A = this chain, B = another copy of it.
Amino acid sequence: MTDITEIRAAAARGAGHLRRTPLLSSPFLDEIAGRRVLVKAECLQQTGSFKFRGAWSALSALAPEVRARGVIAYSSGNHAQGVALAAKLHGTSAVIVMPKDAPALKIANTRAYGAEVVLYDRATEDRDAIGQAIASERGLTLIKPYDEPMVIAGQGTSGLEIAEQAAELGVTTADVLIPCGGGGLTAGVALALEATAPGLRARPCEPEGYDDTARSVKAGERLSNASRASSLCDAIVTPTPGVLTFPIQQRLSGPGIVVTEEEVLRAMALAFQRLKITIEPGGAVGLAAALFHSAEIEGDAVICIASGGNVDTEVFLRALHLPES
């Protein structure tokens, strides 16, 4: 089980490699939300998402001789880029199994970071099976995207920073709104906050139609999404909460918040205009919840993790062209 000791160890292994991302704000966003809004800009992390934290943590925890044989990962794109760059910086090789319909930018970046990319069909093939087959055949170590203790510990380093940065601003009580796919970020951050800022509560945020975590937390058991189609929020579409991540979320998370795609696009446009950052759709669900679901949130302040920024230009343009409302 991942705990605060492992999160602190991941932070120590990441020193000089992980970027300390800023906690941003704008009075214009506060006004829309009706409370103080702080945005943890993980889109500014190396490779453009928080996933580099978990990837670095996992790679740096491997025994050198194991790491030298290479690693493999399966991912819609952000974990892919994180593992690819972490492998490159550790001087080893990476194979990445990606769905064919992943954003073109994410596939291109993963290759540019030096990884070998293997594409699969998200509707008909099982990425776990593909990944495990290649791993055993070539002697590679599989770096799972969220159900992996060292990955959860790495994502938790973002929570350590949030606790420190919120305290510097005098914020000790707040909901922390976290874009949630498999739950690695939510679980890691929730563990870090439990130990270092118990007044900050993690809350998973998801897009409509992919609210497996919100329903699972409510039901007390792991439920699945009906749809396996691709989504605007590609980064956080997973079939079901993780085996390791769900018990942590169930113990520590508040209720989930579910947002619409239009709310996501509006949050992206406001982040561009007011915070000067690029957020991808899946990374904007927390900010969308803060801005447009105020009634589901308590307290004077809210902290949103903007978890990634790897968006194709045409999708970003959809957000900027949305009429103001």
Q: Mark A192-223, 1 if CB is under 8 A from B, else 0.
A: 00000000000000000000000000000000
CB distance from A68 to the nearest CB of B (A): 22
CB distance from A142 to the nearest CB of B (A): 25
Q: Mark A92-112, 1 if CB is under 8 A from B, else 0.
A: 000000000000010001001
A91 within 8 A of B: no
Residues of B near A109 (CB, < 8 A) are 28
CB atoms of A22 and B24 under 8 A apart: no
Residues of B near A229 (CB, < 8 A) are none
**Number of identical protomers:** 2
A127 within 8 A of B: no
Docked pose: A168 CA to B15 CA in angstroms: 10
Most chain B CB neighbours (cut-off 10 Å) among A273, A279, A309: A273
CB distance from A202 to the nearest CB of B (A): 23
CB distance from A25 to the nearest CB of B (A): 8
Residues of B near A22 (CB, < 8 A) are 19-22, 44
Partner of A48, one of B21, B276, B279: B276
Pick out which of these stretches binds chain B: A58-66, A172-180, A312-320.
A312-320
CB atoms of A44 and B317 under 8 A apart: no
CB atoms of B277 and A113 under 8 A apart: no
Given A16-B168, A320-B313, A320-B316: A276 and B273 interface contact (C-beta under 8 Å) = no
Q: Mark A28-49, 1 if CB is under 8 A from B, else 0.
A: 1000000000000101100010
A9 within 8 A of B: no
Q: Which residue of B lies closest to A85 (CB)?
A: B27
A292 within 8 A of B: no
Determine the interface band of chain A, counting residues with CB < 8 A from chain B.
20 to 34
Docked pose: A317 CA to B314 CA in angstroms: 11
Docked pose: A320 CA to B261 CA in angstroms: 22
CB atoms of B44 and A275 under 8 A apart: yes
A155 within 8 A of B: no
A2 within 8 A of B: no
Partner of A309, one of B20, B41, B276, B316: B276
Given A273-B105, A278-B277, A317-B317: A28 and B309 interface contact (C-beta under 8 Å) = no
A120 within 8 A of B: no
Q: Mark A299-321, 1 if CB is under 8 A from B, else 0.
A: 00000000001000100110010
CB atoms of A113 and B317 under 8 A apart: no
Docked pose: A28 CA to B113 CA in angstroms: 9
Which 10 pairs, one residue from A and one from B, show the smallest C-beta to C-beta distance? A276-B309, A276-B278, A43-B276, A22-B22, A48-B276, A313-B320, A272-B278, A44-B276, A276-B277, A22-B44
List the interface of chain A (C-beta within 8 A of B).
16, 19-22, 24, 27-28, 41, 43-44, 48, 85, 105, 109, 112-113, 168, 272-273, 275-279, 309, 313, 316-317, 320
Extra A-B contacts (5), CB below 8 Å, given A22-B44, A272-B316: A27-B112, A28-B112, A44-B277, A272-B313, A313-B320
* Between-chain CB contacts (< 8 Å), 5 pairs: A16-B168, A20-B22, A21-B22, A276-B279, A277-B277
